[in-house]
Amino acid sequence: MGRKFLVALGGAALALSLAACSGGGAGSGEKSGDEKPSDLTIGVSMPTQTSERWIADGNAVKSKLEAKGYKVDLQYAGDDIPTQSQQVDQMITQGADVLILAAIDGTALSSQLQAAAAAKIPVISYDRLIRGSKDVDFYVSFDNYKVGVAQGTALLVGLGLLNKDGSKGTAKGPLNVELFAGSLDDNNTQFFFGGAMDTLKPFIDDGTLVVKSKQTTPEQVATLRWQQETAQKRMENLLTSAYNDGSKVDGVLSPYDGISRGIITALQNAGYGKGAKKLPVVTGQDAEIASIKLINDGVQSSTVFKDTRLLAEQAVNAAEAFLQKKQPQANDTKTYNNGVKVVPAYLLPIATVYKDDIKATLIDSGYWTAEEVAAGQAKK
Ligand code: GAL
């Protein structure tokens, strides 16, 4: 069978049969571990380019691999599950030697993973754990539960209920808050929301925090595909349904900067941020440049910084270990059960960023420049 024909057909089943009839020629099954980097291709699949964060991740992984001489096939899936499946299928049929995958839907890549395993292609789950498959070989991410705790804590600090050092703040309740979570098909969502709710629950239980909408379950507060517009709509609905009696929102738990910007837009459209009607405290995640400007301007309260440069480095280390027929170094072998097995993980630390931290955490470390922060835009 001609290779062109195979590529044209694509598909997981095909990758399986290819592996079966050619003895694993499509992937690294035949590799000895002594190949030159320039003979090896790493397939990198990222969910979407609508978020600054994933662009930074894709670029960082690609440039770090290329600096070591590897070939890189980087694809973005436009947040469309069939597109991602197809792109990964194609990476397999085209002979990728390792796959680095940030899934849109954590359960939707099982057949691709089966094909990868049959072709002996190691799979690294990037930031979002792939669920329901035994064929995930390694996971690189951050401490996602801690991200949630940091978001809950940042909401409490922003509201003045806690000080940054963890001591009790001077504010008194009751204060009105609303809750947002990420996409339920992303394994991280349960960690972020769980960590945040464990932190906020005592304050909700004793009446210091009031969720006026009464929407507190993950299903009620989730945001499909993490979309800014979806979050904006939900915030608009919350304002008209639960705050039409003249009461005000004091804080909003947001799990991701894009969602935070949707929430802030809805609030501003409803007159918050003008005169005496102060904008609520809004949290975030990812230190996206548009949100860092908002934090610098006193509009968004905080974000959780996850250094994509370090994540990319860990993904590259793991890929290289697999290519050299070694096991990557894990620092967590307990937390990330994907429903079928516990996936060995390397988890990186996180940092909360308030306005005062922008310089030390983001500018001095070279993540964003002062000009980018002022402009709210990444310089290409
Ligand atoms: C999560 C990720 C977050 C955020 C979100 C939306 O999986 O851990 O950092 O980027 O997706 O893209």
Q: What is the pLDDT of residues 60-78, one digit of tens each?
A: 999 999 999 999 999 999 9
Residue 164 vs residue 20, higher pLDDT: 164
Q: Are 105 and 309 in contact (CB under 8 A)?
A: no
Q: Residue 193, SS3? A: helix
Domain check: are 101 and 210 in the same one?
Answer: no
380 pLDDT tier (thresholds 50, 70, 90):
confident
Q: What would the pLDDT profile of 180-220 be if each residue is shown by its tens digit?
A: 999 999 999 999 999 999 999 999 999 999 999 999 999 99
pLDDT on residue 144: 97
Q: Any idea what the Cα angle at residue 306 is, between residues 291 and 261, rounded to 5°?
A: 20
Q: Residue 71, SS3? A: strand
Judge if the beta carbon of residue 352 lies within 6 A of ligand 1.
Answer: no
In a domain, 132, yes or no: yes
Q: HSE-up of 5 (CA within 13 Å, CB side)?
A: 3
* Structural domain count of the chain: 2
Domain check: are 162 and 298 in the same one?
Answer: yes
Phi-psi region of 214 (alpha: psi -120 to 50; beta: other; left: phi over 0): left
Distance between CA atoms of 332 and 165, rounded to whole angstroms? 27
Tell me which DSSP letter residue 358 carries.
I
Judge if the beta carbon of residue 285 lies within 6 A of ligand 1.
Answer: yes
Domain check: are 122 and 203 in the same one?
Answer: no
In a domain, 6, yes or no: no
Q: Specify the CATH number for the domain of residue 315.
A: 3.40.50.2300
Helix, strand and coil in the chain, % to nearest 5: 45, 15, 40
Judge if the beta carbon of residue 127 lies within 6 A of ligand 1.
Answer: yes
Judge if the beta carbon of residue 185 lies within 6 A of ligand 1.
Answer: no
pTM of the model: 0.91
Domain check: are 150 and 279 in the same one?
Answer: yes
Q: How far is CA 201 from CA 81, 104, 179, 204, 352, in A?
A: 34, 29, 12, 5, 20
Domain check: are 247 and 220 in the same one?
Answer: yes
Q: Are 18 and 93 in contact (CB under 8 A)?
A: yes
Torsion, Cα 330 333 335 341, to 10 degrees, reads 110
Question: Which ligand 1 atom sits closest to the C-alpha of 186?
Answer: 7
pLDDT on residue 34: 80
Domain check: are 153 and 104 in the same one?
Answer: no
Backbone angles phi, psi at 108, to 5 degrees: -90, 0
In a domain, 12, yes or no: no
Q: Are 99 and 116 in contact (CB under 8 A)?
A: yes
Domain check: are 150 and 119 in the same one?
Answer: no
Judge if the beta carbon of residue 192 lies within 6 A of ligand 1.
Answer: no
- Pair of tokens at residue 208: 């210091």
- Whole-angstrom Cα Rg for the chain: 22
Domain check: are 88 and 182 in the same one?
Answer: no
Q: Which residues pair with 101 in a beta bridge?
A: 45, 125
Residue 322 structural domain: 38-136+307-347
Kind of pairing between the strands at 351-353 and 303-305? antiparallel
Domain check: are 168 and 282 in the same one?
Answer: yes
Q: How far is CA 220 from CA 238, 272, 278, 282, 322, in A?
A: 12, 24, 26, 19, 41
- pLDDT at 25 exceeding the cut of 50: no
In a domain, 242, yes or no: yes
Q: What would the pLDDT profile of 284-318 be if each residue is shown by its tens digit?
A: 999 999 999 999 999 999 999 999 999 999 999 99
Ligand 1 centroid distance, CA of 232 (Å): 18
Judge if the beta carbon of residue 256 lies within 6 A of ligand 1.
Answer: yes
23 pLDDT tier (thresholds 50, 70, 90):
very low
Backbone angles phi, psi at 66, to 5 degrees: -65, -35
- pLDDT at 276 exceeding the cut of 90: no
- pLDDT at 4 exceeding the cut of 50: no
Mean pLDDT taken over the chain:
92
Question: Which ligand 1 atom sits closest to the C-alpha of 226?
Answer: 6
Task: Name the residue of 130, 185, 188, 283 to mutate for ligand 1: max ligand atoms within 8 A of Cβ.
Answer: 188
> H or E element: which one contains 210?
strand 209-210
30 pLDDT tier (thresholds 50, 70, 90):
low
Task: Name the residue of 53, 261, 353 to mutate for ligand 1: max ligand atoms within 8 A of Cβ.
Answer: 53
- pLDDT at 21 exceeding the cut of 80: no
Ligand 1 centroid distance, CA of 227 (Å): 11
In a domain, 380, yes or no: no
Q: What would the pLDDT profile of 210-249 be if each residue is shown by its tens digit?
A: 999 999 999 999 999 999 999 999 999 999 999 999 999 9
In a domain, 153, yes or no: yes
In a domain, 19, yes or no: no
Ligand 1 centroid distance, CA of 350 (Å): 13
Q: What would the pLDDT profile of 102-121 be if each residue is shown by its tens digit?
A: 999 999 999 999 999 999 99
* Diameter of the chain measured on Cα atoms: 73
Residue type, 237: N
In a domain, 5, yes or no: no
Domain check: are 228 and 259 in the same one?
Answer: yes
Domain check: are 223 and 270 in the same one?
Answer: yes
Domain check: are 295 and 193 in the same one?
Answer: yes
